[in-house]
């Protein structure tokens, strides 16, 4: 396809005074945004800033309450994703919608005209993926592919529609540094062809590196439009959160104390065909220590969390020891009673019940460990609503959870605010062992820095903390020691200061040299 | 113009109360329409269907007789449904409860003791609970779909009852009628008042409803039911066991259905016979949902559906409408209840036209992009 030169003057996509009301709440409030042909344009903003709402309006999932979207100079109404595709807008979602049991080609076929034969799709997908440097086997089953490869399916699927504008939502959040570099190459190729990209990210460095323009949202309004190459990460962050992002304070050379969590020879077979087997996992975490476990999604993090939390117990009782006690066969509440706290990755439907009030969600994690405070009536186990509400309020105040009403449904909070509550719920108990899976996944910069600081403070106060994370920036911000999980195997831990980004990237890619790493690291 | 459903930030308290009433009004309107199409005077027909049964003392008693088992079964089902366990087989648990509860009067007709009635009730509860334990075991151990197993066990129970009363338990002096001997007076659930047939089964229903309401509202167990019903994974995180909840909810609902069964047989019928229920176990599903799975709401909805049974019988006599009309009313009611419930979570907004409607055409009409889709 060729874009005519005449269109260069006209923005490809122009949004003016776009507003979306949910009841009386304006998720987007008079947003103006222009994207030129052949531009990589960044959309920056905290969670709840209105990015998702804006993108959903552009892709026809939501209808604007007011305002105008123009595409190639013509005013348009986009009533469905199908409309958006017809116009030439493609979208790659943060959370992929792929059927794991189907092949790459079959997954792509699902979004296309059913009359096109599968072989033709496979062939086109193969040639497209080659042309854009996105190696992909159309006949592979999605279940066998890495997250990076799955993302390529989504990108190829969008490209098959021959879009003029591609929207990418947090594309690098699941990629290794090397995979991200490869993605950027692809984006540059698309730009060279005159296609535009709307790039949504929290990663300021990335935005500065690849984007030509940026629009910053805060509280549903545009707070800045700039050329990110002229800005510093700090100035971009300022536009996003409205104030300087709090610097994370960590004292170097913290002294480590007693052993709090000890895992040895933990082997857990995969529970489903798509799950990962944990192989001989071992770790030791002491008071004052934050052990960060890096790794690309889907390498056993969820399984490791399940085993550590006791949601799924393991047969070998002494494979996991909390404060010296063997707890392999003890359930989650038994481990909580020993002073452990847990924060799962998935907020909705795991760490919290979306359809229940915040106070109910407090009770969810603490009905047993805080039995004396929250329950009365002996065997009847009556819930003391007053005590639960005041604890809920205390947590919301300490963690600065922004919400509407006193005790709203968990599902009505933005991701960052709900995560602050979920982390605060555990911190409020001052756990002696805290295990957190992806503490700031999909959380805005302000909430993320607050959560990270809280983790560091907790360790300093004498707790042992395990942080499982895919976010390397986060890992380097908080970790005392770093281990890498890959294909269900955990590497030896290394002091955070001795590892470089590249080294971790390689280990995450599955290259295990656990015993030779210290020497290799010192060679850098 | 289009209608938009907008999700509310919070569940609307107003509509939680108004929605069942609105459903009731809509049911009456459409019921009147049906009567009019059948060539009856709509208002007169509605009157004899829904008002006349409430005018006599004896029929108020009948209302309680029919509402008792509906409420007892439905409050048990509400615990199941709240916890995401879909027990459809209350009719079978009702039947088995009636059978196990009848063991003592059938096998020991000469035993005259005040303890016989409490024992019968306990046996009825145990029988219903054990019978519900079968789908519970199958689901907890083998992950079987409880909708299918509990439903199929209804027919097993009904045929077992049929075989019993035609075979080993048939009354030898019963002129070959398929029924057991009439229970001794000590084995009969006494009437509440002298003015009619209403018996203690209705009181059991109210006690069960209040007790389960208290559990759901104030106890950790009720919280556990709600959490596991909304998200099994979150329940596991809380340390609640979905497997144990399968057992708990099915045993409670089976036990209450069994209690309803023996109460019906002991209080209203006085012996066992092939047919002991006009489908209470199935109608109770409607009662549970009409009462919003809230035990107190179920008391009200149980009375409403009992009235449709009575009204059907009354209308058949007074205006000559098939008693199938009561089924139609039950269906209309369920349909409108489920639809009106949308208003609790959503608000309706009429969008008159669209600010940029002229542009709509350019977006909807297949542009030249379509041809390029596959390149």
CB contact (8 A) between residue A332 and residue B239: yes
Closest chain A residue to B355 measured between Cα atoms?
A66
First CA to last CA across chain A, in angstroms? 46
CA angle B166, B269, B66 (to 5 degrees): 125
Q: What is the pLDDT of residues B43-68, one digit of tens each?
A: 888 888 888 888 889 889 999 999 99
Report the pLDDT averaged over residues B78-104.
97
Contact list in B for residue A309 (CB cut-off 8 A) is 237
Tell me which DSSP letter residue A485 carries. Answer: E
Contact between chains at B374 and A113 (C-beta distance less than 8 A): yes
The distance from CA B220 to its chain's CA centroid, rounded to whole angstroms, is 25
State whether residue A351 sits within 8 Å of chain B by CB: yes
Task: Give the residue carrying structure tokens 């993302």.
Answer: A151
**CB contacts, 8 Å: B223 with chain A:** 360, 363, 367, 383
Q: B369–A86: do the CB atoms touch at under 8 Å? A: yes
Q: Is residue B60 part of a domain?
A: no
Helix axes B325-340, B295-318, angle to 10 degrees: 150
pLDDT for residue B9? 65
CA distances from B178 to A63, A89, A131, B272, B275 (A): 66, 73, 81, 9, 10
> For residue B275, is it within any domain?
yes
Whole-number Cα distances in Å, A428 to A333, A410, A432, A449, A478: 16, 18, 12, 18, 20
pLDDT of residue A47: 60
Q: Phi then psi for A39, rounded to 5 degrees?
A: -115, 140
Distance CA A512, CA B200 (A): 73
Identify the residue among A381, A385, A386, A405 best suited for mutation to test binding to B, counting B beta carbons within 10 A and taking the highest. A381
State the Cα–Cα distance between residues A273 and A357, nearest whole angstrom: 35
Tell me which chain A residue has its CA closest to the CA of residue B346: A23
What is the spatial distance between Cα B81 and Cα B87, in angstroms, rounded to a whole number? Answer: 8
Dist. CA A310–CA B236, nearest whole Å: 9
Q: What is the mean pLDDT of residues A471-499?
A: 87
Whether B109 is in a domain gets the answer yes
Residue B94 has pLDDT above 90, yes or no: yes
Cα nearest neighbour of B214 on chain A: A382
Count of other CB atoms within 10 angstroms of residue A442: 17
| pLDDT band, very low/low/confident/very high, at B119 (cuts 50, 70, 90) | very high
Q: Which two tokens mark A295?
A: 């790794």
A27, A200 Cβ separation under 8 angstroms: no
Sequence-separated (6 or more) residues with CB below 8 Å from residue A367: A374, A375, B220, B223, B238, B239
Mean pLDDT over the full length of chain B: 89
Distances (CA, A) of A207 to A1, A31, A213, A233, A445: 27, 20, 9, 9, 14
The distance from CA A471 to its chain's CA centroid, rounded to whole angstroms, is 8
CB A48 within 8 A of CB A415: yes
Query: A19 or A235: whose pLDDT is higher?
Result: A19
Contact A97, A107 (CB under 8 A): no
B85/A428 Cα distance (integer angstroms) = 34
The tally of domains found in chain B comes to: 1
Q: What is the distance in angstroms between the Cα of B234 and the nearest Cα belonging to chain A?
A: 4
Query: Parallel, antiparallel, or unpaired: how do β-strands A325-326 and A320-322 relate?
Result: antiparallel
Q: Is residue B126 part of a domain?
A: yes
What digits encode the pLDDT tens for the residues A303-326?
A: 999 999 999 999 999 999 999 999
Q: Are strands A290-294 and A464-469 parallel, antiparallel or unpaired?
A: parallel
| Residue at token pair 């689901």 | B139
More confident residue, A516 or A9: A9
Q: How far is CA A516 from CA A158, A279, A504, A511, A520, in A?
A: 43, 20, 13, 12, 6
- C-alpha–C-alpha distance, residues A288 and A260, integer Å: 10
Domains of chain A, start order: 5-241 (3.40.50.300), 259-349+431-523 (3.40.50.300)
Residue B204 belongs to domain spanning: 70-296
- Which residues of chain B are at the A interface, by a Cβ-Cβ cutoff of 8 Å? 4, 6-11, 218-221, 223, 226-227, 230-231, 233-234, 236-239, 347, 354-357, 359-360, 362-364, 366-367, 369-370, 372-375
Q: How far apart are CA B276 and CA A270, in angstroms?
A: 51
SS (H, E, C) A280-344: EEEEEEECCCEEEEECCCCCCHHHHHHHHHCCCCCCCHHHEEECCEECCCCCHHHHHHCCEEEEC
How many other C-beta atoms can be found within 10 angstroms of the C-beta atom of residue A9?
Answer: 9
* Higher-pLDDT residue of A518, A9: A9
Q: What is the DSSP letter of B47?
A: I
Closest CA to A318 of A382, A251, A274, A267: A267
| Any domain includes B238 | yes
Q: What angle do CA B365, B367, B369 make, to 5 degrees?
A: 140
Paired with A281 in beta bridges are: A266
**Residue B261 located in a structural domain:** yes
pLDDT averaged over chain A?
85
Question: Which ipTM score applies to this complex?
Answer: 0.82
Given a contact cutoff of 8 angstroms between Cβ atoms, the answer to whether B201 and B256 are in contact is no
- Closest to B49 measured CA to CA, from B31, B66, B64: B31
DSSP string, A95-129: S----TTSBHHHHHHHTS-TTS-HHHHHHHHHHHH
Residue A43 near residue A215 (C-beta atoms within 8 A): yes
Cβ-Cβ contacts under 8 Å, B369 against chain A: 85-88, 162
Q: Which is nearest to A347 in space by CA: A432, A272, A413, A295?
A: A413
B216 to chain A: which residues are within 8 Å by CB?
Answer: none
Q: Which two tokens stand for residue A3?
A: 């874009």
CB A449 within 8 A of CB A471: no
**Pick from A120, A380, A409: which is nearest to B10 by CB?**
A409
Chain B interface, mutation test: which of A60, A76, A81, A89, most B Cβ atoms within 10 Å?
Answer: A76
Residue A350 has a pLDDT of 94
Residue of B223, B357, B364 with shortest CB distance to A363:
B223
CB A348 within 8 A of CB A95: no
Cβ–Cβ contact A501 with B under 8 A: no
Tens of pLDDT, residue by residue over B333-358, are: 888 888 888 888 888 888 775 544 43
Lookup: tokens for A257: 């104390």
Count of CB contacts below 8 A, A vs B? 133
For the record, the structure tokens of B60 come out as 């108020």
For residue A517, what pLDDT is reported?
38
Q: Do B363 and A116 touch (CB under 8 A)?
A: no
pLDDT, residue A245, reads 53
Domain-embedded: residue B311: no
What residues of chain B lie within 8 A of the CB of A354, using their CB? 230
State the pLDDT confidence band at A512, using cuts at 50, 70 and 90: very low
Q: Which residues of A touch B367 (CB under 8 A)?
A: 86-87
Q: Given a cut of 70, is residue A121 above it in pLDDT?
A: yes
Q: How far apart are the C-alpha atoms of B196 and B186, rounded to whole Å?
A: 19
Q: Is A20 exposed, middle or buried (0-12, 13-18, 19+ CB in 10 A)?
A: buried
So what's the pLDDT on residue A242? Answer: 63
Q: A209: Cβ–Cβ under 8 A, 6 or more apart, which residues?
A: A184
Give the chain A residue nearest B352 (alpha carbons). Answer: A65
* Locus of tokens 């129970």: B157
Q: Rounded CA gap, A282 and A490, in Å?
A: 7
Collapsing DSSP to helix, strand or coil, B194 comes out as: coil
Q: Identify the residue with better confidence: A76 or A276.
A: A76
Secondary structure element (H or E) that encloses residue B313, with its range = helix B295-318
Write the pLDDT tens digit of every residue in A419-472.
999 999 999 999 999 999 999 887 777 888 899 999 999 999 999 999 999 877
Render pLDDT for B356-368 as a digit per residue (tens, 0 to 9).
443 333 333 333 3
Q: Is A119 on the interface with B (CB under 8 A)?
A: no
Closest CA to A213 of A57, A29, A11, A78: A11
Average pLDDT over residues A254-275: 85
Cα distances from B232 to residues A351, A353, B163, B345, in angstroms, run 11, 10, 41, 22
| Residue A90 and residue A128 in contact, taking contact as beta carbons nearer than 8 Å | no
Cβ distance of A86 and B366 shorter than 8 Å: yes
Tell me the H-state helices in B54-199.
57-82, 90-101, 103-107, 116-142, 146-166
Mean pLDDT of A260-268: 95
Chain A residues in contact with B227 (beta carbon < 8 A): 353, 356, 360, 364
């Amino acid at each position: 396809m060729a874009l005519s030169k005449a269109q260069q003057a006209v923005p490809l996509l122009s949004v003016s005074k776009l507003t979306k009301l949910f009841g009386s709440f304006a998720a987007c409030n008079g947003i103006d945004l222009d994207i030129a042909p052949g531009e990589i344009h960044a959309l920056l903003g905290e969670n709840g800033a209105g990015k998702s709402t804006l993108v959903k309006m552009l892709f026809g999932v939501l209808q604007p309450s007011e305002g105008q979207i123009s595409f190639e100079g013509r005013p348009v109404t986009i009533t469905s994703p199908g409309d958006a595709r017809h116009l030439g807008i493609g979208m790659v979602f943060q959370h992929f919608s792929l059927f794991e049991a189907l092949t790459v080609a079959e997954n792509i076929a699902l979004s296309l005209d059913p009359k096109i034969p599968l072989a033709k799709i496979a062939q086109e997908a193969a040639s497209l993926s080659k042309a854009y440097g996105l190696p992909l086997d159309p006949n592979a089953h999605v279940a066998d592919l890495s997250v990076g490869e799955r993302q390529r399916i989504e990108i190829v699927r969008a490209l098959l529609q021959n879009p003029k504008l591609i929207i990418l939502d947090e594309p690098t959040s699941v990629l290794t540094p090397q995979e991200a570099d490869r993605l950027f190459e692809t984006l540059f190729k698309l730009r060279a062809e005159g296609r535009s990209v709307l790039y949504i990210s929290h990663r300021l460095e990335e935005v500065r590196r690849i984007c030509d323009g940026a629009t910053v949202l805060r509280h549903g309004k545009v707070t800045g439009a700039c050329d990110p190459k002229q800005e510093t990460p700090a100035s971009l962050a300022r536009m996003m959160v409205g104030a300087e992002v709090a610097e994370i304070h960590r004292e170097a050379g913290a002294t480590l104390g007693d052993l709090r969590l000890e895992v040895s020879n933990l082997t857990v077979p995969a529970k489903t065909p798509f799950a990962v087997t944990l192989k001989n996992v071992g770790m030791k975490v002491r008071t004052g220590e934050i052990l960060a476990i890096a790794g690309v999604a889907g390498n056993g993090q969820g399984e490791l969390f399940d085993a550590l939390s006791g949601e799924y117990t393991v047969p070998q009782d002494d494979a996991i020891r909390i404060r010296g006690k063997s707890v392999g066969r003890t359930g989650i509440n038994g481990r909580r009673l020993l002073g452990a706290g847990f924060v799962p990755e998935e907020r909705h439907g795991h760490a919290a019940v979306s359809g229940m009030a915040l106070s109910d969600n407090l009770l969810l994690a603490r009905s047993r460990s805080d039995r004396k405070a929250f329950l009365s009536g002996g065997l009847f186990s009556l819930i003391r609503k007053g005590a639960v509400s005041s604890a809920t309020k205390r947590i919301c105040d300490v963690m600065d959870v922004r919400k509407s009403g006193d005790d709203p449904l968990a599902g009505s909070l933005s991701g960052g605010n709900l995560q602050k509550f979920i982390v605060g719920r555990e911190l409020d108990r001052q756990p002696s062992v805290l295990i957190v899976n992806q503490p700031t996944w999909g959380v805005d910069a302000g909430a993320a820095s607050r959560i990270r600081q809280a983790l560091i403070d907790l360790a300093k106060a004498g707790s042992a903390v395990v942080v499982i994370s895919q976010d390397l920036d986060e890992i380097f911000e908080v970790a005392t020691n770093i281990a890498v999980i890959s294909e269900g195997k955990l590497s030896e831990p290394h002091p955070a200061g001795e590892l470089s980004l590249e080294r971790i990237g390689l280990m995450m890619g599955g290259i295990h040299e656990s015993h030779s790493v210290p020497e290799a690291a010192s060679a850098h | 113009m289009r209608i938009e459903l907008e999700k509310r930030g919070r569940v609307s308290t107003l509509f939680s109360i108004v929605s069942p009433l609105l459903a009731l009004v809509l049911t009456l309107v459409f019921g009147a329409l049906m009567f009019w199409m059948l060539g009856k005077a709509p208002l007169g027909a509605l009157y004899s269907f829904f008002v006349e049964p409430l005018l006599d003392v004896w029929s108020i008693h009948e209302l309680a007789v029919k509402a008792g088992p509906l409420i007892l079964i439905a409050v048990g089902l509400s615990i199941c449904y709240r916890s995401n366990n879909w027990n459809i087989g209350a009719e079978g648990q009702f039947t088995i409860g009636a059978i196990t509860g009848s063991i003592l009067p059938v096998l020991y007709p000469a035993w005259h003791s005040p303890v016989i009635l409490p024992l019968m009730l306990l046996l009825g509860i145990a029988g219903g609970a054990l019978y519900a334990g079968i789908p519970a075991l199958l689901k907890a151990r083998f992950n079987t779909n409880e909708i299918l197993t509990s439903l199929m066990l209804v027919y097993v129970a009904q045929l077992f009852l049929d075989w019993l009363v035609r075979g080993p338990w048939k009354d030898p002096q019963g002129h070959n009628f398929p029924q057991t001997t009439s229970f001794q007076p000590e084995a009969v659930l006494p009437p509440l008042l002298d003015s009619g047939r209403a018996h203690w089964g209705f009181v059991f229903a109210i006690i069960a409803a209040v007790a389960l309401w208290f559990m759901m509202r104030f106890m950790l167990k009720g919280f556990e039911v709600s959490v596991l019903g909304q998200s099994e994974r979150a329940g596991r995180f809380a340390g609640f066991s979905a497997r144990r909840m399968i057992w708990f909810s099915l045993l409670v609902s089976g036990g209450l259905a069994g209690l309803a069964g023996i109460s019906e047989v002991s209080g209203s019928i006085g012996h066992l016979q092939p047919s002991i229920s006009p489908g209470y176990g199935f109608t109770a599903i409607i009662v549970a949902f009409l009462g919003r799975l809230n035990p107190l709401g179920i008391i009200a909805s149980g009375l409403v559906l009992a009235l449709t049974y009575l009204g059907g019988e009354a209308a058949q006599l007074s205006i000559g409408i098939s008693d199938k009309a009561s089924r139609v009313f039950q269906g209309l009611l369920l349909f409108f209840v489920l639809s009106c419930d949308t208003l609790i979570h959503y608000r309706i907004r009429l969008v008159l036209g669209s600010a940029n409607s002229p542009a709509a055409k350019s977006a909807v009409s297949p542009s030249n992009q379509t041809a390029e889709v596959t390149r």
